[in-house]
Chain A
Amino acid sequence: SQQGEEDPQALSIQEGENATMNCSYKTSINNLQWYRQNSGRGLVHLILIRSNEREKHSGRLRVTLDTSKKSSSLLITASRAADTASYFCATDGGNQGGKLIFGQGTELSVKP
């Protein structure tokens, strides 16, 4: 079963705008990760944030984690048409290594 919900399910913005996607989960976690997927095929790892971290940056990506609310957000700044993809959060469900539990994803469309 899916770990949680992502919000919104779909997001359409103009190039240059910021995109914010949210993820909620149900169980305790050791870490939370964000992945990107183009055209329903392989996933690309973007960023990992550990349960004792509150914020992490990588290039134009900023991820926050609130373990008290069991939620995370992914912010993409100065979006580009090439950022168009589906974005998924995934947690380890509190396990050490092993399976990832994914949300249902946010479909982002960036219009040039």
Chain B
Amino acid sequence: GAGVSQTPSNKVTEKGKYVELRCDPISGHTALYWYRQSLGQGPEFLIYFQGTGAADDSGLPNDRFFAVRPEGSVSTLKIQRTERGDSAVYLCASSRDRGQETQYFGPGTRLLVL
């Protein structure tokens, strides 16, 4: 079946603008994760959903970042008042459920804030 998909693949925006990044997990996967990866670094956890609810949002850097998963499948990561430091690759992953350790990653969205 299809893997995790993310749109857009690239996003260029101006400082201060609002952006939305979308993630389509593998069908049937109840757990969904967002990570952020800066150049030369490993991914850093942002937030994870079990079903529709955010089970752990401890990685969100500040209140400009918000994520939703209203129907328990597709998720949207929203960034308000973007800053140049938000530039990174945003990765989404899903797993069958919270107890399944293997996470399957999407190709990422490369965000550039000018």
Contact = CB atoms under 8 A, between A and B. Distances in A.
From DSSP, what is the main secondary structure of chain A's interface residues?
loop
A17 B37 CA distance: 30
A2 B98 CA distance: 21
A97 interface: yes
A43 B43 contact: yes
B107 A42 contact: yes
B45 A97 contact: no
B44 A92 contact: no
B91 A42 contact: yes
A102 B37 CA distance: 10
B14 to A, nearest CB: 23
B43 to A, nearest CB: 5
How many interface residues does chain A have, given as a range?
Answer: 20 to 34
A33 B107 contact: no
B42 A96 contact: no
B85 interface: no
Of B39, B99, B105, B106, chain A has the most CB atoms within 10 Å of the CB of B105
Interface in A56-112: 88, 90, 92, 96-105
Given A31-B101, A33-B102, A98 B56 contact: yes
B13 interface: no
A31 B95 CA distance: 16
B25 interface: no
Given A41-B89, A42-B107, A2 B33 contact: no
Interface of B: 4, 31, 33, 35, 37, 39-45, 48, 55-56, 59, 89, 91, 93, 95, 97-108
| The 7 nearest A-B residue pairs measured at CB | A102-B42, A97-B98, A99-B45, A42-B107, A43-B105, A42-B105, A41-B107
